[in-house]
Chains A and B, each alone.
Chain A
Amino acid sequence: MSEMAWGVVPAAATAGTDRRRRWLGGFLVALGLLAGYAFAAHVPAGVVTHLDLNSAPALPLPVPAVPVRETTAVLAAICVALGLVLALRRGARGTYALLAAGLVAFGLAFVIWAARGADLSLEGMLASTLVDSVPLIFGSLSGVMCERSGVINIAIEGQFLAGAFLGAMIGSVSGNLWLGMLAGAAAGALLGAMLAFLCLRYHADQIIVGIVIVTFATGLTAFLDLQVLTPNQATLNSPQIFPNIAVPVLDRIPVLGPILFDQNIFLYLALALLAIIQIGLFHTRWGLRVRAVGEHPRAADTVGISVLLIRYRNVILGGAIGGLGGAALSIGSTGEFTQDMSAGLGFVALAAMIFGRWKPLWAASAALLFGFADSLQSVLAVLNVPIPSPFLLMAPYVATIIAVAGLVGRVRPPGADGMPYRRE
């Protein structure tokens, strides 16, 4: 097919990023001023927020009372300063870090203001951020695995549903959660194989096949849920849930211990996979080959790398990782399969991957950001915030649009992403 649609980077790209950086700096300054006006100037002195940091009994910490007015003023000033640095500085390195720091300052100011006069469990928020982002990390890693080898994986949502379904069913029938986890991965791998087969063997369009896999998996799991699971709920759809596993010693670290080291197996698995894929992709021969195939398959083929083999392997492995993300939803969290239970999370994971510019670590960070937005929303829903909850619910999506438009812009996917490869 046409080769001109891919990889054409306009010559004026650098000028564009300069302008974009200035624009983003201005945006941060505006946010900081907004925070100063709304959160600091309008709050009477003496109002405090109690930050609940450590509920673990290992080492009781005092609950610090934070003065709202002063703290938010400082955070707003930090936000403005970071924005100025971003806008006035030369060079593009560290743009992301500066922006992220500014956004975190704003977010913190917002939360402290929202919880004024009440208790805010910062620890609970961080913990639920991690829990919410586990399936997203799996999903974005699934995307990275496929797309780095040059196959667009828009079917993450379908892999989630298949993994959640089979994970719950096998986990319930066998009574063994590990088998359920394996089955979830297998279900995802099967859909990955389907994607690979249709796209690599028959050169079908990857985005189309991805969308159809989502439709197929949504329909099939809903059908099987009604036809098979519902009549036999007790035997087929009542798996246990993986218990939390506390890492000895480490879980006694104040604040971070219980958040990081007393969690579900799926979180550890996600972090391990993240490390493996990040290191594997950039520091091993396997990773070099995958990236070569994704960027320039013809060149890779010329030096004797089997393009199809690498693509098949990566897409199927990616599917398995997506399936694990689905299993994390059912046997890792709710303990049963329900119709359409991923509710679009697969597409959010896709956005996280693009947001993270096809890099595992960045993609996982983006997933954490979405998880944070999710937990922030549930915290704010309880607090007395004069914002209707649908707006809080849509905030992460609006933020993604702004970020993709303003921040990522013309991202550069792997050079051959989406293109079928034909030997000459």
Chain B
Amino acid sequence: MAPDVEQPPAPPEGGGARWLPDARRRLGRGLQVVARSGTAVTTTLAIFSALVVGAVIMIVTTPQTLSAWSAFPSNPGAALGSSWTLVTSAYTALFVGAVGSPAAWLHAITSLSPPALTAAAYPLSETLVATAPLLLGGLSVSLAFRTGLFNIGAQSQLLAGAIVAGWVGFSLPGLPWPVHLPLAILAGAGAGAVAGWVPGVLRARTGAHEVIVTIMLNYVAANLLIYLLSLPAFLPRGAANAISRTTPASARLPHLAGPGLRVNAGILLALAAAYGVWWLLQRSTLGFRFRMVGASHDAASAAGVDIRRMITGSMVIAGALAGLAGVVEILGVSPQLVPGFAQNLGFTAITVALLGQARPGGVVLAALLFGAFQAGGLQMQASTTIPLELVQVIEAVIVFFIAAPALVRAIYRIRTSGTGFRLFSQGWGG
């Protein structure tokens, strides 16, 4: 980094007007020091900015604060006060719903009684439950991204995984769980792999763009699910509604912390997959070839890499990962298939991958964050009537800022040259 050649600030003679830019510059210089440590600062600032945007949206859409603001000239205190109350109560609920209330944790740790511990850990457990499928879906999108493919259809692979895993679960009752559970998991991953193979092989052989094919497959999968939910093989006897049979306990992912908490082995599966993807990308020949294809088709083919096989292979593995996301959803969280099962998961997984910059470690953190938002958002909706959808807006704004780090640096006056990995898709080309 070049030495700071800036002139020392001029003596304060102009009065108050000079103060603001100067303070900004100082703040900027302070942040600049931290910014050298990497993208962590940009990410933190992006999250902070998104929370600010969320707060503004809350304030302008709530009638009470809105009316307080319309009386702002006569009573500024009321406007600021009611806004502050609204925002802090919402975000406190979000926080408590994601990691638990400090008071409950304090009580649990001092008393060490199991019921108190369970009660305190419940929000954290919900966060981890929401994290697992997001992490697997995010890994799926990331792996494809690193090969230069945009797996916008994680949803179809996820549904394939959930359908097959669920079917293996409820149509083979009576198997002992050491057989049944691995069988269901593998079947789900396999189904996801097949659903990922289709766009992969079409891209490799015919050049059909995977964005179009996977978008279309999302609808195919959703309609296939609706069809399957009209078949006797999927429905309980004499059922009138399109709700499938329930997966039995022998095919469920075991709970990790007792029956009172929903957190299950799915999160372990997801973390293992994250390690596996990291190993694949950073330590294996296959992963190196994937990244080579992602970086440049020309260079890869000059080096003798079979681009078509890499594209197909990457989509198969990505499909299996997304299939696993469906597996942990059906075998861990909601044991029945319904129309519109896990509807937004595939799309949120894309934002998770983007936030994690398509790197396994980053995706773990991003999935944890969005899992926390998910769990906390439900709590926020329950206790403050702010709809859960606000969380989706906040998530989107975070990724906006992540996608344009220069924007964040401009807002906070950080003057660094943006080095490091930047996620880039390959347009329609190929």
Residue ranges of A at the interface with B (Cβ–Cβ < 8 Å): 1-2, 4-8, 152, 154, 198, 201-209, 211-216, 218-220, 222-224, 226-228, 344, 347, 350-351, 354, 388, 390-391, 393-394, 397-398, 400-401, 404-406, 408-411, 413, 417-419
Contacts and interface: CB of A to CB of B under 8 A. Distances in A.
A198 B400 contact: yes
Given A220-B393, A351-B212, A354-B209, 10 more contacts: A5-B427, A198-B407, A202-B406, A202-B410, A205-B423, A216-B397, A401-B202, A401-B220, A404-B216, A405-B202
Given A5-B426, A5-B429, A152-B428, A398 B220 contact: yes
B387 A227 contact: yes
A347 B347 CA distance: 13
A223 B215 contact: no
B395 A418 contact: no
29 contacts: A2-B295, A4-B297, A4-B298, A5-B297, A8-B298, A152-B427, A152-B428, A198-B400, A209-B400, A211-B354, A212-B396, A212-B403, A213-B396, A216-B400, A219-B389, A219-B393, A222-B389, A222-B392, A223-B61, A223-B390, A350-B212, A350-B215, A351-B212, A354-B428, A393-B223, A393-B226, A401-B202, A405-B213, A410-B207
B148 interface: yes
Given A6-B427, A7-B429, A394-B219, A404 B387 contact: no
B386 interface: yes
Contacts of A219: 389-393, 395-396
Contact of B387 (A211, A223, A393, A408): A223
Q: Which of A8, A152, A390, A409 has the most chain B CB within a 10 Å cutoff?
A: A390
Contacts of B269: none
Given A2-B296, A208-B354, A404 B208 contact: yes
A38 B392 CA distance: 49
Contacts of A417: 427-429
Given A223-B57, A388-B227, A418 B425 contact: yes
Contact of A212 (B296, B389, B399): B399
By size class, the interface of chain B is 35 or more
Contacts of B220: 394, 397-398, 401
Contact of B351 (A212, A347, A388): A212
Interface in B244-276: none
Contacts of B393: 216, 219-220, 223
Nearest to A154: B211
B173 interface: no
- Interface of A (DSSP majority class): helix
Nearest to A232: B63
B400 A212 contact: yes
B404 A198 contact: yes
Contacts of B407: 198, 201-202, 204
A6 B399 contact: no
B297 A405 contact: no
Nearest to A220: B393
Contacts of A220: 57, 389, 393
Contacts of B427: 5-6, 152, 206-207, 413, 417-419
Interface string B121-150: 000000000000000000000000000101
B387 A226 contact: yes
A208 B425 contact: yes
A216 B206 CA distance: 33
Given A207-B427, A209-B403, A400 B296 contact: no
B302 to A, nearest CB: 11
Contacts of B327: none
B296 to A, nearest CB: 5
Contacts of A344: 215, 218-219
A152 B424 CA distance: 13
Contacts of A216: 393, 396-397, 400
B64 interface: no
Q: Which of A154, A207, A351, A413 has the most chain B CB within a 10 Å cutoff?
A: A207
A143 B420 CA distance: 32
Contacts of B212: 350-351, 354, 400-401, 404
B222 to A, nearest CB: 8
B357 to A, nearest CB: 11
